[in-house]
Amino acid sequence: MAKQPRAWQRMLSGRRLDLLDPTPVDIEIEDIAHGLAFVARWNGQTRGEHAYSVAEHSLLVETLFTRICPDEPAKWQLAALLHDAPEYVIGDMISPVKAAVGPGYGALDERLAGAIHIRFGLPATIPVKIKKLIKKADKVSAWMEAIQIAGFSRSEADRLFGAPEPGLIRDLSIRLRPPAVTRAEFTHRHAALLGAMT
């Protein structure tokens, strides 16, 4: 009988996460924050001395989500912060690659997201209304990233992601920081939102 390929990854926390059947007990925020702080958005094709990490992007998306809907409770802010959390083990794929890989990537992402959500007191599946609001914040972040660090023209970014309302992005800019700094801020923000949920 053929040996099954290994489908788990050892985390720095010592946890062993089964990618095909993830359980909340094997998920630690330190692993997520560390992984996301070292995963580059845009396949690393960005300007600057540091890669623009998924952790940095996630912090921006949570800020934008809170500006879009300031009256939503902390649990949905946490959902925004964790919207790309599965990428701590499966990496960040640009949309064209996701389309080429097909539905298998989406199913893997959903299983991991469900386990992550349960681990931190969220429903496995985020309500559609909240997902749409998070996606809106995600697109605004992508627009900002595209024109500030990824080499897109404003017209190209407008066409691909939609031009945001100027007030929504006032005083915000893309930050390129060392992974350790972003990891610490991500972990701190996660703890603050968890505390606000209790």
Q: Residue-wise pLDDT tens for the chain (198 aa)? A: 667 777 888 999 999 999 889 999 999 999 999 999 999 999 999 999 999 999 999 999 999 999 999 999 999 999 999 999 999 998 887 777 777 777 778 888 999 999 999 999 999 999 999 999 999 999 999 999 999 999 999 999 999 999 999 999 999 999 999 999 999 999 999 999 999 997
Q: Which of 151, 145, 166, 182 is nearest to 67 (CA)?
A: 166
Query: What's the CA gap between 159 and 183, in Å, rounded?
Result: 32
Helices (H), the chain: 29-38, 54-68, 74-81, 87-90, 95-101, 103-119, 128-148, 154-161, 179-197
The DSSP letter of residue 8 is: E
pLDDT at 94: 72
| Count of C-beta atoms within a 10 Å radius of residue 111 | 17
What is the amino acid identity at position 51? A
pLDDT at 92: 84
Q: Which of 75, 35, 83, 62 is nearest to 182 (CA)?
A: 35
Q: How far is CA 77 from the centre of its chain?
A: 12
Pick the CATH number of 25-196 from 1.10.357.10, 1.10.3210.10, 3.90.1170.50, 1.10.1380.10: 1.10.3210.10
The SS3 of residue 80 is: helix
Q: Which of 134, 128, 119 is nearest to 58 (CA)?
A: 134
